[in-house]
A and B are shown apart, each in its own frame.
Chain A
């Protein structure tokens, strides 16, 4: 009873006093500032603060100041859910930008969906998800893993694949998709070597030796690495020690960006590859301005990376959508988001699709001695695919929130499997 009264009152209030009532507009930032993920996520918190500041300088939004509400979920997955609830109910933010790991996103999903919040998720991930309340501004597998594999197959003529990953969800699902994809491309199952190692693994000699031994049947070997975080340090050191040059056994990494290379001596890694939607070395005026603003704020030695660009695009799209809708109310903004366009930092235009993913170009870069990447391949914009086409269970699924109002639509039975997402 009490609750109904309250909601009625809230609805009345909201309809009586549009927009003006909720100044300042609050932007929730849900990134770990302590714990293991702090290193990656703190950068994104700084990015968000910079974006909010820039927007305020440009006149705010809907005649309101923007205010960033920063909380610290401390790399603790259950805490993510708690903090998300706090942001939405206590601080009453209009939008949340946050999360890095998939498990933290899965932790937050039920809360966001229950309270009808809005989350922008900026990191490349394994796909197989499309929530009504989340916009995925990072890459889906078909925007990173598949093009990189194509590059291996077509440009480097790799015939034998070693899929090395850290044992968690992103590598598991990505490698599953890739295995299936490679087999469809005619690579035999026995020519795919898969290995999973724990977080922070350091003893790589045997695995590197195994990879070298793959070449014994005369096929060109390539490594697709989904190794996460600081385990990469040991891996690349062992690779260098074994004298494996990128010309013999190329390695393409999906989780190694400018930030990660800072912990490494890159002289022995020149020529190995990474696939992203953004590299700091991208040659465009927008990017130059962005890098300059970042360095001016954070210091000359700081680098920019792909998830930062994702937040840049996501935030600006949200601002434009809210301006179009004339309100920050979640459902109105969501409707306005579909079809939003915003220029990428790497050139071209990102488009928000009805499946809540972006269309973005895919870039492949070679590691250089200075820890930056030399972009050697850039595709046209690739539309992000929530459900991969390369796994039989997912191939029949599609997500379309605009027309079908469903994130998990089975095209075979022509019915919506579920409205809420799978977590």
Chain B
């Protein structure tokens, strides 16, 4: 398996042939999807429970978000601590339509029993009371203006995160905010967004968020066991397409410029490339991917609320990529899948307690500590993450860089350090 970052021979073979890792990844993903379908309750033999299928489907969405994170951090060197905010925005966008449409069905049905046919205003008031009664309001805030239309909210999944990233990125890159400053700034953006969503006045039901998203309007009769499989397929498809798209973006000349920006931004600028434009594109493009991932994730989770957008979620995203191995797309996927599933297992109480005689380690309490320390260990001892293991099998060697950074980004482990 050849890492796509090091491939670059300009032969005119088909894209997938040039990068076998892409083909292998897609094959594994398809196989996995088929297996899950066969084993699941919806259309298969029912060995795997619906709740676990939902977990798997959600994990695929997280993998997609990690892919985006890898593109922006692993390949372009921008440590964004805000990509889960875009993920959340995507979830809110689809959630608004789901809530609106589901409630509209209920309200129309109940009003149809009344003596007079309802006016549009009465229907709208009825929906608003249902949705916002919980948070002590009964009117639609302006953000909900488009919630009645599925196509418009679908567009919002792409446009809102993309536009926010574009504006934020333009402001930040224009004034040459880089490195840790940018990280802090993106974190502040995430915090501001989550605080904004926390407010009841923002019109998105404050701390309660949007709930009951697993009930699709019009599909009330379809059991959740089948809906979960449908979403699983959608997530797998999105991940596959996302992977293909990301691999394509990083493979060509564009990809080379991205990596060059990561390794030495000012040199790229001196060479006449518009560094800001490249960064802006990658930042916004990945924001859109995250938005789509979020829109697929939250109908499976069933509820979205501001805590999902909190800064810590974005940091976790970076950590998944770091553990999986930055600068390689499959690394991000492995990291996200591995850590999030492991987290589920440990916090789910299934992990057996470890008895040390004088003290029993209960994983519910100690898992976070283990996770935290493993970040430290990975950054210190294995900067290439789990992906680095694959290099060993393939006997892939790092290029000779004359004592400079080994990658994957500026300021990463230096060759000299590694030798010491």
A adjacent to B, CB under 8 Å = yes
Interface set of A (CB-CB < 8 Å, partner B): 2-3, 6, 33-34, 70-72, 74, 76-78, 81-83, 85-86, 89-90, 102-103, 106-107, 109-111, 114, 126, 128-129, 167-169, 172-173, 175-177, 196, 198, 393-394, 410, 413, 415-418, 422-423
Contact of A90 (CB < 8 Å), options: B51, B106, B205: B51
B348-393 CB contacts (< 8 Å) to partner A: 348-349, 364-365, 368
CB-defined contacts of A33 to chain B, threshold 8 Å: 349, 364
Q: Shortest beta-carbon distance, A242 to chain B, in Å?
A: 27
Chain B residues near A168 (CB-CB < 8 A): 198, 206-208
CA of A378 to CA of B364, assembled, Å: 41
Contact between chains at A169 and B134 (CB < 8 Å): yes
- The answer to the question of B10 belonging to the interface, with a C-beta cut-off of 8 Å to chain A, is no
> B286 an interface residue at 8 Å Cβ cutoff?
no
Is B124 in the interface zone, CB < 8 Å from A? no
Q: B225: which A residues are within 8 A, CB to CB?
A: 3
B8: Cβ under 8 A from any A Cβ: no
Known: A169-B206, A422-B130. A106 touches B303 (CB 8 A): yes
Bound: A410/B198 CA distance, A: 31
CB distance from A2 to the nearest CB of B (A): 7
Q: A72-B348, A106-B211 are in contact. Are A413 and B307 (CB under 8 A)?
A: no
- Contact, CB under 8 Å: B49 / A89: yes
B110 near A393: Cβ-Cβ < 8 Å: no
Inside 8 A of A129's CB, which chain B residues have their CB?
134
In angstroms, Cα B349 to Cα A416, docked, is: 41
Chain A residues with CB under 8 A of B54 = 82, 85
Cα distance A417–B348 when bound, in Å? 37
Q: List, in ascending order, chain A residues with CB within 8 A of B305's CB.
A: 77, 103
**6 A-B pairs closest in CB distance:** A176-B136, A168-B207, A78-B301, A85-B51, A423-B212, A415-B113
Q: Is the interface of A mostly helix, strand, loop or mixed?
A: helix
Residues of A within 8 Å of B113, CB to CB, are 413, 415
A107 near B199 (CB under 8 angstroms)?
no
Docked Cα-Cα span, A71 to B130, in Å, equals: 31
B110 and A394 contacting across the interface, CB-CB below 8 Å: no
- Chain A residues with Cβ under 8 A from B214's Cβ? 81, 110-111
Residues of A within 8 A of B403 (CB): none
Instruction: Provide the residues of chain B in CB contact with A81, threshold 8 Å.
Output: 214, 301-303
In the assembled complex, which residues on chain B have CB atoms less than 8 Å from the CB atom of A3? 223, 225
A394 to chain B, nearest CB (A): 7
| A198: chain B residues within 8 A (beta carbon) | 195, 198
CA distance A269 to B217 in the complex (A): 51
The chain B residue with its CB closest to the CB of A89 is: B49
> Known: A72-B364, A107-B302. Contact between A416 and B51, CB under 8 A?
no
Residues of B within 8 A of A (CB): 46, 49-51, 54-55, 103, 106, 109-110, 113-114, 129-131, 133-136, 138, 195, 198-200, 205-209, 211-212, 214-215, 223-225, 301-305, 307-308, 347-349, 364-365, 368
Q: What residues of chain A lie closer than 8 Å to B103, measured between beta carbons?
A: 422
> Contacting A111 at CB < 8 Å: which of B138, B302, B349?
B302
* Extra inter-chain contacts (4) besides given A77-B303, A82-B301, A422-B103, CB under 8 Å: A167-B198, A167-B200, A169-B206, A413-B110
Name the B residues within 8 Å of A415 (CB-CB): 110, 113-114
Which B residues are in CB contact (< 8 Å) with A70? 349
Bound CA–CA A363/B257 (angstroms) = 70
Known interface pairs A86-B49, A110-B302, A423-B212; A393-B138 also in contact (CB < 8 Å): yes
Residues of A within 8 A of B136 (CB): 169, 172-173, 175-177
- Say yes or no: A416 contacts B110, CB within 8 Å: yes
Residues of B within 8 A of A423 (CB): 134, 211-212
Q: B residues within 8 A CB of A106? A: 134, 208, 211-212, 303
For the complex, give the distance between the alpha carbons of A75 and B138 in Å.
29
Give the Cβ gap from A411 to chain B, nearest Cβ, in Å.
13
In-complex Cβ contact of A172 among B200, B302, B349 (8 A): B200
Task: Decide if A71 touches B349 in the complex (CB within 8 Å).
Answer: yes
A415 CA to B107 CA, complexed, in Å: 12
Chain A residues with Cβ below 8 Å from B349 are 33, 70-72
Residue among A34, A85, A175, A422 making CB contact with B364, cutoff 8 Å: A34
Chain A residue with minimal CB distance to B297?
A78
CB-contact partner of A169 in B49, B135, B199, under 8 A: B135
Bound CA span A215–B182, Å:
47
Residues of B within 8 A of A103 (CB): 207-209, 211, 303, 305
Does B303 lie within 8 Å of A169, measured CB to CB? no
Most chain A CB inside 10 Å of its own CB: which residue of B134, B200, B205, B301: B134
> Given contacts A33-B364, A82-B55, A110-B214, are A422 and B133 in contact (CB under 8 A)?
yes
Among A34, A82, A90, A410, the most chain B Cβ lie within 10 Å of the Cβ of A82
Cβ contacts under 8 Å, B212 to chain A? 106, 109-110, 423
In the complex, what distance in Å separates the CA atom of A76 from the CA atom of B308?
A: 9
- In the docked arrangement, what's the CA distance between A320 and B347, Å? 34
B224–A167 touching, CB < 8 Å:
no
Minimum CB–CB distance for A86 against chain B, Å = 5
A417 with B106: CB separation less than 8 A: yes
Question: In the complex, what's the smallest C-beta–C-beta distance from B84 to chain A, in angstroms?
Answer: 14
Whether A413 contacts B347 by the Cβ 8 Å rule is: no
- Write 25 A-B pairs (CB below 8 A) sorted by A numbering: A70-B349, A72-B347, A72-B364, A78-B304, A81-B301, A82-B51, A82-B301, A83-B348, A103-B207, A103-B305, A109-B211, A110-B214, A110-B215, A111-B214, A114-B215, A126-B134, A168-B198, A169-B208, A172-B135, A196-B199, A393-B138, A415-B110, A422-B103, A422-B131, A423-B212
Residue from the list B110, B129, B207, B303 in contact with A418, Cβ < 8 A: B110
| With A107-B303, A169-B207, A172-B200: A410-B133 Cβ-Cβ less than 8 Å | no
* B304 cross-chain contacts in A, Cβ below 8 A: 78
CA distance A19 to B110 in the complex (A): 39
- For residue B198, which residues in chain A have a CB less than 8 angstroms away from its CB? 167-168, 198
B365 partner residues in chain A, CB cutoff 8 A: 34
Q: Contacts of B51 on A, CB cut-off 8 Å?
A: 82, 85-86, 89-90
B113, B136, B205: most-surrounded residue (chain A CB, <10 A): B136
Indicate if the CB atoms of A196 and B49 lie closer than 8 Å. Answer: no
A308 vs chain B, min Cβ distance (A): 21
Complex: chain A residue closest to B207, CB-CB: A168
Partner among B46, B114, B347 whose Cβ is within 8 Å of the Cβ of A2: B46
B206 with A167: CB separation less than 8 A: yes
> B130 — which chain A residues lie within 8 A by C-beta?
422
- Measured between beta carbons, the chain A residues less than 8 angstroms from B55 are 82
Instruction: Return A89 CB to nearest CB of chain B, in Å.
Output: 6
Q: A167-B199, A167-B200, A167-B206 are in contact. Are A173 and B49 (CB under 8 A)?
A: no
In the complex, the answer to whether B207 meets A393 with C-beta atoms within 8 Å is no
Residue contact B114 to A413, C-beta cutoff 8 Å: yes
Q: Which residues of B sit under 8 angstroms from A417, Cβ to Cβ?
A: 106, 110
A72 to B224, CA, bound (A): 23
**Across the interface, do A89 and B50 meet the contact criterion of CB distance under 8 Å?**
yes
* A2 to B106 alpha-carbon distance, docked (Å): 31
